[in-house]
Structure 1
């Protein structure tokens, strides 16, 4: 009798697991997006609240490091309490974390590049 109740619960968990996106952005704020087709202009997210101790603005990050997102991909910018993260083609490629998926990571306090893109 117990196995009969357990089986539907396992099936439900399996179905739910298949619907969960592998990239968790709950600890990050969306900063903005740069559409790589056309003029590649950075469009800030109006809901982004820059931490007071960040010395570099999202526009400065886009101006200095936006070229690291290449080809015809969109580049979505996120931030946490430490850094900005540039994610190329966000949502199209599964990844385990923002940090591992980021094309570039820029320190919000210094503007220094912490992770540069992998060389081909």
Structure 2
């Protein structure tokens, strides 16, 4: 899960500056909420049951390897890394483009990378 320090590092802000902490915390909460709502996926809870498989039963004792979480809506470690990037890219876009209208400027939309990551992570629905 991302922290305020992660956000400041991503935005290349001074980690000791606190003047925008409230804004960044709000953006982080909003981006996380947007991710959860749009993807219908979530991070694992502490102690979340996971499925494991023996990678090679010939090894004694057999080595257990993470397969996936028992709940298919829980993000795997690889998916968590992608979700973090989705959140950071979205948050960075909001930080750089704070208004909904830009007079006399080129209007920018959410980067294609963000859309691509959501398409990979979104839980399919019928």
Query: TM-score, normalising length from structure 2?
Result: 0.26
* Bigger share in strand: 1
Query: TM-score, normalising length from structure 1?
Result: 0.26
* Bigger share in helix: 2
Compare relative contact order (CA 8 Å, sep 6+) and give the higher one, 1 or 2.
Answer: 2
